[in-house]
DNA sequence: CTGGTCACTTGTTATTTGCAAGTTACCATC
DNA sequence: GATGGTAACTTGCAAATAACAAGTGACCAG
């Protein structure tokens, strides 16, 4: 999708709205979180505690790939198997996740911040 | 809602998942954005460029109020009219919005960062 | 008493989600 | 070589959610 094409579907030129167009749902950023935590495979994402439905997972991975946030590579030829990893664009989401973790840590009772996300690990 | 009650509905103890349970949709953070930009009334939120449907707006304001992110006050008795404003918990979302703005500014072509959100205005 | 504003609510249709099951392509064991 | 298992998906369908249009109630102004 080039810029003029994608422009046709922009809700607005607001940066917040544009982030929400890609990440504004209950699952997409959980996949990004898993990628940051070192997971790379479909089955690993599917096994995360929140229990993402597999059709949603496949759809979100496709969208993230199209958006250039992740890349899909074959890690095995026979049988063909894939792994996913964050691009630079994807890794640049870390400050956003960091801010989310900080907010939840302060305001949501009962959350457990896993070590990787503890404040200071992002930059 | 007390903690034991809310715990029953937690998808997980992950901070990211908890933020998404409240803000993981296409509209909620746009209302927060508008509040940060100084808007306070239902009609002002409804007039924002993205065109939020009014039933969604009413629903999201209710959820934000229940979550303690905004407070609703009468600014007029006859006829009774309300205005909304962010609580401390709501203002603490600013680093998250800031990170979203920074990401979009860097990675989404065609976004226009309004002055209030320019890097350095948050703290 | 007619028209207009504000803050919603209601009804209906369209879209998205959630869940279960099925598929394809292999490898490993009996 | 039949049975079972894993990985990475896809498909079908019911249920939940969202979008759009219209309606409501309480006022105020001319």
* Residue B36 near residue B94, CB atoms below 8 Å: yes
Q: Is residue A108 part of a domain?
A: no
The reply to whether A50 Cβ lies less than 7 angstroms from strand C is no
3 state SS for chain B:
CCHHHHHCCCCCCCHHHHHHHHHCCCCHHHHHHHHHCCCCCHHHHHCCCCCCCHHHHHHHHHHHHHCCCEEEEEEECCCCEEEEEECHHHHCCHHHHHHHHHHHHHHCCCCCCCHHHCCCCCC
DSSP state of A49: T
Higher-confidence residue of B93 and B117: namely: B93
Using CA atoms, how far apart are residues B119 and B102, in angstroms rounded to an integer?
7
Does any CB of chain A come closer than 8 Å to the CB of residue B26?
A: yes
What A57-65 contacts at long range (C-beta under 8 Å, 24+ apart), as own/partner pairs, is A57/A27, A57/A31, A60/A25, A60/A27, A60/A28, A60/A31, A61/A31, A63/A22, A63/A28, A64/A28, A64/A31, A64/A32, A64/A90
pLDDT of residue A77: 81
Q: Is residue B122 part of a domain?
A: no
pLDDT of residue B5: 42
The reply to whether A47 Cβ lies less than 7 angstroms from strand D is no
As a whole number of Å, the end-to-end CA separation of chain B is: 30
Q: Which residue of B has its CA nearest to A95?
A: B99
The reply to whether A11 Cβ lies less than 7 angstroms from strand C is no
Contact between A100 and B11 using a beta-carbon 8 Å cutoff:
no
Contact between A92 and B107 using a beta-carbon 8 Å cutoff:
yes
Q: Is residue A118 part of a domain?
A: no
Average pLDDT over residues B52-75: 95
Contact between A111 and B13 using a beta-carbon 8 Å cutoff:
yes
Using CA atoms, how far apart are residues B114 and A51, in angstroms rounded to an integer?
38
A-chain CB neighbours of B6 within 8 Å are: 109-110
pLDDT of residue B123: 40
Q: Is residue B83 part of a domain?
A: yes
> Which of B10, B14, B97 comes nearest A16 by C-beta?
B97
Does any CB of chain B come closer than 8 Å to the CB of residue A111?
A: yes
Burial profile A44-68: b = 16 or more Cβ within 10 angstroms, e = fewer: ebeebebebeeeebeebbebbeebe
Which nucleotides in chain C lie closer than 7 A to a protein CB?
5-11, 16-22, 25-27
Q: Is residue A117 part of a domain?
A: no
CATH number of the CATH domain containing A93: 1.10.10.10
Q: How many structural domains compose chain B?
A: 1
pLDDT of residue A1: 39
Query: Minimum mean pLDDT among A43-47, A106-110, B95-99, B110-114: which range?
Result: B110-114
Query: Minimum mean pLDDT among A105-119, B49-63, B84-98: which range?
Result: A105-119
Q: Is residue B26 part of a domain?
A: yes
> Which of B14, B25, B100 comes nearest A96 by C-beta?
B100
Could you list the residue range(s) of the whole structural domain that residue B19 is in?
3-117
Q: Which parts of chain A have pLDDT scores under 70?
A: 1-9, 118-123
Using CA atoms, how far apart are residues B21 and B10, in angstroms rounded to an integer?
8
Q: Is residue A14 part of a domain?
A: yes
> Which of A10, A15, A104 comes nearest B19 by C-beta?
A104
Q: Is residue B123 part of a domain?
A: no
pLDDT of residue B11: 86
């Amino acid at each position: 999708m080039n810029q003029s094409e994608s422009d046709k579907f922009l809700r607005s030129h607001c940066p917040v709205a544009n982030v929400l167009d890609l990440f504004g749902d209950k699952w997409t950023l959980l996949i990004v979180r898993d990628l940051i935590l070192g997971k790379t495979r479909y089955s690993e994402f599917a096994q995360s505690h929140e229990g993402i439905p597999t059709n949603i997972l496949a759809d979100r991975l496709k969208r993230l790939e199209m958006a250039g946030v992740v890349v899909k590579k074959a890690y095995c030829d026979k049988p063909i198997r894939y792994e996913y990893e964050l691009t630079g664009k994807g890794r640049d989401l870390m400050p956003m996740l960091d801010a989310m973790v900080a907010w939840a840590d302060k305001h949501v009772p009962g959350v457990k911040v896993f070590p990787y996300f503890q404040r200071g690990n992002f930059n």
